[in-house]
């Protein structure tokens, strides 16, 4: 992750793609969201969804994993260039999270993060706050999830 | 779950308690949020948290599990009284999700749901929309998580 001062509003970054298999949809649901339409094809066929769908919490948890992996790749690339790497996190929270379309078994979701706001932290002067809008888009071009999240990002040391 | 017409704004329901162990904090993080302060005690001790903390997504996933279990208990109790049970879900989304305090290994979180708004669905006349505020409170009485979520709930058949 780049330092707070290097982050530009409007910047969009693809964070990765993930294909949701029936097995992992059911495994996540059994652990955290055991509703029939996330657990069982037959019950899901009778539901308003008509087929097995991933828990909304599963679709956002996969975004988190891909985002952490992407940050790590960026940090490693920066270190390889001999640059220092800004600390990131924790997240303050999430706003306007919308599950816009179901994610069916077999769907492949491409996630993207867009910087929508940057501001200094009043309580922690060595940190800035970055708000990103994240979306997930399926193989039919439909946006299935959208949300805003705000995270602390380290500022460059003053005088640098 | 009761029918839309029976849901009263202001009603509060405890949904259950959960103790976050170090092992499960690390297991969730390894799968979905592999940041050092969620994965490893030594790295966490060096972070701004000072000790191992649960992923925010983990704390909300446990809320989901407890909420589904509570709905199931209520549905079973209603069926045992010979009453019909309203369909619930899917959720439309989540707003204003705030991770207010860290959840450390060993913390026990008590979750509570409060109905804050009910309204008819324009697009689906047989359903209503119920917005609840959910909070999680630790054993020191500190609120660690707070968010609003909106879910479809079945209405009584007209003329009933």
Q: Tell me the CA distances in angstroms from B54 to A16, A106, B61, one per residue in order.
A: 24, 30, 11
Question: Are the Cβ atoms of B37 and A89 closer than 8 angstroms?
Answer: yes
Mean pLDDT of B113-131: 93
pLDDT of B89: 79
Mean of pLDDT over chain B: 94
Nearest residue of A to residue B62, measured between CA atoms: A32
pLDDT at B103 over 50: yes
% of chain A with per-residue pLDDT over 70: 98
A28 versus B48: the higher-pLDDT residue is A28
Q: Which residues of B touch A97 (CB under 8 A)?
A: 93-95, 97
Residues B10-32 have pLDDT tens digits of 999 999 999 999 999 999 999 99
Least confident of A120-124, B47-51, B68-72, B88-92: B88-92
Question: Are the Cβ atoms of B33 and A98 closer than 8 angstroms?
Answer: no
Q: Which residues of A touch B30 (CB under 8 A)?
A: none
From CA A59, how far away is CA A63, in angstroms rounded? 7
Sequence-distant (6+) residues with CB within 8 A of A153 are A1, A3, A4, A7, A86, A87, A88, A127, A128, A129, A130
CATH number assigned to the domain covering A4-154: 3.10.129.10
A48 versus A18: the higher-pLDDT residue is A18
Question: Are the Cβ atoms of A57 and B60 closer than 8 angstroms?
Answer: yes
pLDDT of A48: 85
A110, with CB counted inside 10 A (0-12, 13-18, 19+), is middle
Distance from CA of A93 to the nearest CA of B (A): 4
| Residue A49 host element (H or E) | none
Q: Is the pTM here over 0.80, yes or no?
A: yes
pLDDT at A51 over 50: yes
Question: Are the Cβ atoms of B32 and A61 closer than 8 angstroms?
Answer: yes
Question: Are the Cβ atoms of B64 and A32 closer than 8 angstroms?
Answer: yes
Q: Which of A39, A65, A124, A151 would best serve as a mutation to test chain B binding (most B beta carbons within 10 A)?
A: A65
Nearest to B93 among A33, A92, A97 (CB): A97
pLDDT at A124 over 60: yes
% of chain B with per-residue pLDDT over 90: 83
pLDDT of B1: 58
Band the pLDDT of B159: cuts 50, 70, 90.
very low
Sequence-distant (6+) residues with CB within 8 A of A79 are A85
């Amino acid at each position: 992750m780049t330092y707070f001062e290097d982050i530009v509003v409007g910047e969009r970054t693809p964070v990765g793609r993930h294909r949701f298999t029936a097995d992992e949809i059911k495994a996540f649901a059994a652990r955290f969201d055991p509703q029939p339409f996330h657990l069982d094809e037959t019950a899901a066929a009778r539901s308003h969804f008509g087929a097995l769908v991933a828990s909304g919490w599963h679709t956002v948890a996969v975004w988190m994993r891909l985002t952490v992996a992407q940050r790590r790749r960026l940090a490693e690339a920066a270190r390889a260039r001999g640059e220092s790497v800004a600390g990131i996190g924790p997240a303050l929270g999430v706003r306007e999270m919308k599950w816009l379309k179901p994610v069916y078994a077999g769907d492949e979701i491409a996630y993207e993060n867009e910087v929508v706001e940057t501001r200094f932290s009043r309580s922690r002067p060595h940190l800035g706050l970055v708000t990103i809008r994240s979306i997930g888009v399926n193989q039919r071009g439909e946006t299935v999830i959208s949300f805003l999240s705000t995270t602390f990002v380290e500022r460059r040391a003053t005088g640098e």
